[in-house]
Amino acid sequence: MRSSFAKSIYVGAAVLGLAGLSAVTTTTASAKSYATAGAYSKLTTDATKRNVEATGTNALYTKPGTVKGAKVVASKATMKDLADSKKSANYFRAYGVKITNRGSVYYRVVTMDQKYRGYVYGGKVNGTFGGGITSAETTKTATNPTRTTGYYLKDVSSHTLWNAPKYTQYKAKKVNMYGAKATDTFKVDQAATKTKEGSLYYHVTDVNNSAISGWIYAGKGYDTTITDNTKQDLGGLALTASEAATNDNSVTVVYNGTGSKAVFVSTDKDAKAGKLVNNAKNAAGQTLSEFVKSSAPAGYRVVGAYTNGAQYGNNVYVNVTESATSKVALYVNQVDNGNVKVAGALNVNSSISASDLSIKMDTSLLTGVKNSLISDNLTKISNSLDENGTVKGTKTYYTNAGKAYHYEFTFESTPFNSDNRNASYGDTLKAGFGAKLVEGSAKSNPTDNSWIA
């Protein structure tokens, strides 16, 4: 699980087909003379050896920062926030490199949660990480518990197995639990903590099926001083079968046509095979009906779940359909610059990026059945945007004399409803804002704007 870095990195010439940039501003790199960048090269060493973290000394750009047309993806201040973060999601994975004619090395990087992607200055030596990034060890080896056998999975809907603790490796994913039985025991063979969060994970393997193994959150870990095993804080693990899914306390949910299953484990002490589940809840406080919806496989939503009459020890079969999430492209449809001239002033039809605004909305309104019209939710989405009121922009603009200004944005609901009346879930919606130039520096910070295209 160590993710320390090799002293040298060999790079190939193949272009890496990763997703496009997110959170790109319209701020261009300012330089009197521009550098030129060489060809893109793909990093080909062990990917787990290329985990890095921001140092906060350099911004993230759409292309090497000294090249003409480079735009800021994450400012120096944002990169400092990522550097100081206690969340593993804010580590980066380096996967490509470009070198400018001035000898500056720029690495192509992406955060573990894929929120930020771009080029960051990496020093002057190709093959080492410096400048705006440094090698990161996303996990640290921990001591194995004194008890290594006889563990059960408590509730895979809340804590399941991962091929690496979430966000400690790029695109870490859940382990396929197909074939695992509720009564299977697991053995521990490794232990590690997340470097940023400090949370403990055990690597476990199904004793009855060695193909099922992975990392699971282990709470405080096994404590030899606690004699009552029911009081152990083991996160997603348990030491007695009564705490785990059994035929007497669980219902298996089968999502038709997907190959996916989920196990609902009741906390009802009177649960017994053949007994009606009714309104019993699991450890997360969910009823079976709520669990069915929240546990649907990624990319699907429940369209038919018949949980009335469900019995412990039996299956519930659920119909699902593909879902899709729309994003919103923001643009300026009215602009008032007064008589002030600032560098980079906005115009009608100027786009607004995720880092330009500090706004929130109910993102659940943007997800629905794939290819179905979103029109029924347009008014709700419009109202959600309208609730932000007049929003202060996060960028500062300057006159030639150095006087600071910023924009204030006001959502325009009428064109929004008109422009998007034929949109379907999965389409990008258009949202127009009025922009007014106001004296003074911008001070607000962007919130989670992942719904902005």
Is residue 451 in a domain?
Answer: no
pLDDT at position 285 is 77
For residue 11, pLDDT beyond 60: no
User: Measuring CA to CA, which residue among 313, 320, 308, 304 is closest to residue 256?
Assistant: 320
Distance between CA atoms of residues 341 and 36, nearest Å: 30
Report the length, in residues, of the chain.
453
Range of the domain at 254: 245-323
CB neighbourhood size of 421 (10 A): 11
Same domain, yes or no: 249 and 197: no
Distance between CA atoms of residues 29 and 23, nearest Å: 16
Q: Name the DSSP letter for residue 73.
A: E
| Cβ partners under 8 Å of residue 4, min gap 6 | 49, 135, 137
Query: Residue 424: what residue type?
Result: S
Question: Which segment of 50-54, 98-102, 297-301 scores lowest on mean pLDDT?
Answer: 297-301
Stretch 90-106: mean pLDDT? 97
Same domain, yes or no: 234 and 309: no
Phi, psi torsion values for 25, nearest 5 degrees? -90, 175
* Token pair of 193 as six digits: 């903590």
Query: Residue 125: what residue type?
Result: V
* Domain closes at, from 75, 109, 137: 137
User: Measuring CA to CA, which residue among 20, 68, 16, 81 is closest to residue 44?
Assistant: 16
Is residue 1 in a domain?
Answer: no
Residue pLDDT, tens place only, 414-442: 999 899 999 999 899 999 999 999 999 98
Same domain, yes or no: 207 and 276: no
Stretch 372-395: mean pLDDT? 89
pLDDT at position 32 is 61
CA distances from 369 to 284, 301, 420 (A): 27, 7, 17
Residue 386 φ/ψ region, left for φ over 0, alpha for ψ in the -120 to 50 degree band, beta for the rest: alpha
Pick the residue with more confidence: 67 or 325? 67
Is residue 118 in a domain?
Answer: yes
pLDDT at position 22 is 39
Exposure pattern of 390-402 as b/e (b: 16+ CB <10 Å)? Answer: ebbbbbebeeeee
CA 215 to chain centre: 19
Same domain, yes or no: 170 and 230: yes
For residue 24, pLDDT beyond 60: no
* Domain closes at, from 105, 137, 169: 137
Same domain, yes or no: 93 and 191: no
Strands 315-325 and 300-305: antiparallel
Same domain, yes or no: 19 and 98: yes
Is residue 5 in a domain?
Answer: no
pLDDT at position 367 is 86
Same domain, yes or no: 52 and 130: yes
Sign of CA dihedral 127, 132, 135, 139: negative
pLDDT at position 244 is 67
Burial class of residue 256 (count of CB atoms within 10 Å of its CB; 0-12, 13-18, 19+): exposed
Is residue 403 in a domain?
Answer: yes
* Token pair of 444 as six digits: 């607000």
At 58, the pLDDT band (50, 70, 90 cuts) reads: very high
Is residue 356 in a domain?
Answer: yes
User: Measuring CA to CA, which residue among 67, 94, 234 is closest to residue 169?
Assistant: 94
Same domain, yes or no: 340 and 410: yes
CATH number at residue 175: 2.30.30
Same domain, yes or no: 402 and 389: yes
pTM, two decimal places: 0.52
Q: Which residue has the tokens 């200055």?
A: 121
**In the beta sheet, which residues pair with residue 28?**
71
Strands (E), 29-154: 41-43, 51-54, 60-61, 72-74, 92-99, 105-111, 117-121, 133-135, 139-141, 152-153
Structural domain count, the chain: 4
Distance between CA atoms of residues 436 and 390, nearest Å: 10
Residue pLDDT, tens place only, 144-157: 999 999 998 987 77
Task: Give yes or no for a contact between 34 and 102, defined as CB atoms under 8 angstroms apart.
Answer: no
At 194, the pLDDT band (50, 70, 90 cuts) reads: very high
Same domain, yes or no: 110 and 169: no
* Domain closes at, from 323, 342, 368: 323
At 358, the pLDDT band (50, 70, 90 cuts) reads: confident
pLDDT at position 13 is 34
Same domain, yes or no: 332 and 295: no
Is residue 445 in a domain?
Answer: no
For residue 14, pLDDT beyond 60: no
Stretch 376-398: mean pLDDT? 90
Same domain, yes or no: 159 and 224: yes
H-helix or E-strand containing 302?
Answer: strand 300-305
Is residue 219 in a domain?
Answer: yes
User: Measuring CA to CA, which residue among 171, 184, 143 is closest to residue 18?
Assistant: 171
* Token pair of 448 as six digits: 């989670």
Task: Give yes or no for a contact between 282 and 312, defined as CB atoms under 8 angstroms apart.
Answer: no
